Amino acid sequence: MPLTPPDIEKVSALCARRWDRHYTRAKLKSDPVYAAIEEDLRGSTLPVLDIGCGIGLLTHWLRGCGIDLPTVGIDFDVRKITAALHMAQGMSGVSYATGDARRDLPEHQGHVVILDVLQYFPAEEQDALLRAAAQRVAPGGRLLIRSGMSGGSWRYDLTRACDWLARLTRWMKSSPVVYPNAAQFHRVLEAEGLSVVIKPLWGRTPFYNHLIRAERPAVPA
Ligand SMILES: C[S@@+](CC[C@H](N)C(=O)[O-])C[C@H]1O[C@@H](n2cnc3c(N)ncnc32)[C@H](O)[C@@H]1O
């Protein structure tokens, strides 16, 4: 169930900076990823590790939909973590910390979410992060990834151009390096015991985004 416009206004009002308020409003109104993740996590009780959490919008979406899973978010951008902490004041079961996804992942067993982060790493670092993330998925848990994919379509070109624009405007601290591909997700994640399903997730946006759902079977009772 999507957040209503008044719900979205409430979340954006939590931001300390005007730019973050505009960004929050635009993202929550237009990006189909939060509703897709909500659908995957509804009914679960496992905690969530949000890698590259930005200002923490996923948690606000989930909480707004009544999904109160304990959540840890990490991001290497101090400014974004400061904003995430500010916006999460008064929320219980949520913590955010500054850390590099390539070396500072906390201990965790539950669900893992990685939204729009992989393109900032070369392929071998993507593989290492995917392995580390998969190892943190509990039985019955999911690794949920949203990523642009390498490919030859105009959507791919536009996704890449927008990632560069985000870098040039300094919203992002890093530039895109390479976009992953479907074979890579299957190869790395299936070797870690997860079953992988990939589907397009661009909604009404022009981007070449996909949802990668990788699941670890529950331990039989
Ligand atoms: C496009 S934003 C997505 C934010 C958030 N996942 C969302 O969807 O709302 C990508 C995020 O990845 C973070 N990021 C990029 N490289 C990172 C790294 N090496 N370690 C941790 N976070 C990183 C950026 O700081 C940024 O917040």
CA of 52 to the centre of ligand 1 (A): 4
CA of 154 to the centre of ligand 1 (A): 24
Q: Taking the model in full, what pTM does it have?
A: 0.93
Q: Which pLDDT value is given to residue 214? A: 98
Domains of the chain in start order, with CATH, are 5-215 (3.40.50.150)
Q: Which pLDDT value is given to residue 42? A: 96
Q: Name, in order, each residue with C-beta under 8 angstroms of 52's C-beta and a sequence gap of 6 or more.
A: 74, 75, 76, 101, 114, 115, 116, 117
Residue 100: exposure state from Cβ atoms within 10 A (0-12, 13-18, ≥19):
exposed
Judge contact between 104 and 74, C-beta under 8 A: yes
How far is Cα 12 from Cα 32, in angstroms, rounded to an integer?
17
Top mutation candidate among 76, 143, 205, 210 for ligand 1, by most atoms within 8 Å of CB: 76
116 Cβ below 6 A of ligand 1 = yes
Protein residue with its CA nearest to atom 27 in ligand 1: 54
What's the one-letter identity of residue 16? A
Q: Which pLDDT value is given to residue 220? A: 63
How far is Cα 71 from Cα 80, in angstroms, rounded to an integer?
16
Q: Which pLDDT value is given to residue 1? A: 67
Ranges in the chain, pLDDT < 50 = none
CA of 197 to the centre of ligand 1 (A): 23
How far is Cα 123 from Cα 127, in angstroms, rounded to an integer?
6
Q: Which pLDDT value is given to residue 41? A: 97
Q: Which pLDDT value is given to residue 48? A: 98
87 Cβ below 6 A of ligand 1 = no
CA of 175 to the centre of ligand 1 (A): 11
Mind listing the pLDDT tens digit for each residue in 129-186? 999 999 999 999 999 999 988 876 888 777 778 777 887 777 777 788 788 999 999 9
Q: Which pLDDT value is given to residue 158? A: 76
Top mutation candidate among 37, 120, 165 for ligand 1, by most atoms within 8 Å of CB: 120
62 Cβ below 6 A of ligand 1 = no
